[in-house]
Structure 1
Amino acid sequence: MNSNASTLLVIDDEPQIRKFLRISLSAQGYRVVEAANGREGLEQAALVQPDLVVLDLGLPDLDGQEVLRELREWSSVPVLVLSVRASEGEKVLALDGGANDYVTKPFGIQEFLARVRVLLRQAGEGEPQREARVDSGDLSVDFAYRRVSLAGQEIALTRKEYAVLALLARHLGRVVTQQQLLRDIWGPSHAEDSHYLRVVVGHLRHKLGDDPAAPRFIVTEAGVGYRLRESA
């Protein structure tokens, strides 16, 4: 197979659908990787770094909408939803959640392949893929597995603590404003509730052993927001 061939990850619990797509996509010169459930799909996405993901919504462990949400926390890979769910609401939810296209089952393979080509072409013209992991000194944020480790030891964080640290890590070395952090994590109605953010950042610093007076990791930009150092 061509070493420059695009890699496609198919996340679908139906073996016959995976086989059909594997044969059809391989015949077009694509490399195909398969996953039979959502968690395996997320792991493969982190491991393989595919050029496109084909995602079923009716998975046995995680709903496909949840897989999409978790994937979008750390990856901008194009996602083509392939599902029996044909309602407008389901399509809107997926597209608003970060899917790039939506095809309902049963489907025509030629149209499906055309949509794959369009998404791959658009991806080639767009921004580079995000990293699945970001390191700041001996602090590591693994977006794919939602894990944070310090000097190789995993740190237990609450959902809000992880969300704040992950957002700072995605903008490594750059200031993220208080308003952006509050709006993205707590919602638009909390954009002025800076005390929420101060409490969470305080807890984060405690768990990371970070001295606010001489921070190794999280730096306060007075009156503006916070940034995560590029190296510590």
Structure 2
Amino acid sequence: MRIGVVEDDDGVADALIDALAAHRIPAQRMVRGRDLLTRHPEFDLVLLDLGLPDMDGIEVLRSLRQVSAVPVIILTARDDERSVVRGLRNGADDYLVKPARMTELLARIEAIRRRASRARQTTTSTRQFGDLTIDLAARSLSLAGQPLTLTTKEFDLLAALVDNPGAAVSRQQLMDQVWGDAFVSVSKSLDVHMTALRAKLGRPARIETIRGFGYRWIG
């Protein structure tokens, strides 16, 4: 595993790289966010500070997520709830506040490595739920062998739900993933598109409403 450390503090960066090296994990340091945006293919995981000299770390993360799914752990002094929520909603896989204990950081790195390994082993673009077949890569679906036509937003909602069948997905998560910002006032649009999607999928009901929270795919 190759780790990129995006950190402008020399002392913190050196300590991190030395500690990782002691556990036989190679790491390379970058000072600027823009360096990560050009070098991200070199790394299997990134430790990202938010207080960088050229860009705010959240902006770096947003730009990175447009081109790469490399796992990111935010490692920062910002411990306020808004920063944590923004970091996770903008694509971070985990969030740790400095000074982080090395044992905890290593455990979280290992957890992400295991998830990535399982994902590589099981990745497929097709999902099958009874007589419903969904091809996420082709953005197509069929019911009992007959093709169903969805709008772009309807398919995006469907994909977000079937990607984690049985898991509760909040309205904020859906709005963030489908419309790009959970804070944009698109709640009514979500309701309209969800109603249309359910109507097209027909009976039995495949999407469960979790009152006050969001939805769950029950297939």
TM-score (structure 1 length as normaliser): 0.54
- Residue deviations 1:173-226, cap 9 Å, x none? 757944368x5469747799xxxxxxxxxxxxxxxxxxxxxxxxxxxxxxxxxx
3-state SS of 1:91 partner: helix
Matched ranges for 1:1-232 at <5 A: 6-46=1-41, 48=42, 50-127=43-120, 177-179=151-153, 184=179, 188=186
Q: What is the Cα deviation at residue 107 of structure 1?
A: 1.7
Amino acid paired to 2:32: N
Q: Distance in 2 between matches of 1:70 and 1:40?
A: 12
- 1:78 Cα deviation (Å)? 1.2
TM, length-normalised to structure 2:
0.57
Rounded Cα–Cα distance in structure 1 between residues aligned with 2:92 and 2:114: 16
Letter in 1 for 2:112: L
Shift, 1:72, TM fit: 1.1
Contact residue 54 and residue 81 of structure 1 kept, 8 A: yes
**Structure-2 separation of matches of 1:70 and 1:92:** 17
Contact kept in structure 2, 1:35 and 1:44, CA below 8 Å: no
Contact 1:11–1:41 under 8 Å retained in 2: yes
Question: Unmatched 5+ residue regions in structure 1?
Answer: 1-5, 129-170, 193-232
Q: Please give the per-residue CA displacement for 1:77-97, whole angstroms capped at 9, x wherever unaligned.
A: 111100000011110110111
184 and 28 in structure 1: CA distance in 2 versus 1, 3 angstrom threshold? same
Deviation at 1:127, TM superposition (A): 4.5
RMSD of aligned residue pairs (Cα, Å): 2.9
Instruction: Give identity over the alignment, percent.
Output: 35
How many Å separate the matches in 2 of 1:72 and 1:127? 19
Q: Given the superposition, is the C-alpha separation of residues 57 and 173 from structure 1 closer, same or farther in structure 2, using an over 3 Å criterion?
A: same
| Alignment coverage as a number of residue pairs | 145
How far did 1:10 drift?
Answer: 0.6
- The amino acid across from 1:30 in the alignment is I
Which fold has the larger relative contact order, with Cα–Cα distance below 8 Å and residues 6 or more apart in sequence?
1
